[in-house]
Amino acid sequence: MPIYEFRCTQCGDFEATHPMSTTPKNQLCPVCGGDARKLFSAANLSTLNSSRARAIDRTARTAETPDVVNAP
């Protein structure tokens, strides 16, 4: 299920998962119970810039020049 980001005016941002078919525009804040608006974000793209991107880089690098193993 995709993760959506919501912003509560009182408590700040939080994430919630919803099925594609029922994408809500608003969600109740889990902290205060108030209305929280859905944010338009590229959450999956932004996470790619950090640890996941480094892991992909490392995998590509070791595929071309694998680490030398000196001992069994």
- Chain residues binding Zn ion by CB under 5 A are 8, 10-11, 29, 31-32, 34
Choice between 31 and 55, CB closer to Zn ion: 31
Choice between 25 and 50, CB closer to Zn ion: 25
**SS3 at position 37:** strand
Choice between 34 and 53, CB closer to Zn ion: 34
- Report the nearest approach of Zn ion to the CB of residue 34 (Å): 5
Rounded-to-integer distance, Cα 17 and Cα 32, Å: 18
Give the E-state strand segments of 1-72 in sequence order: 3-8, 12-17, 26-28, 35-39
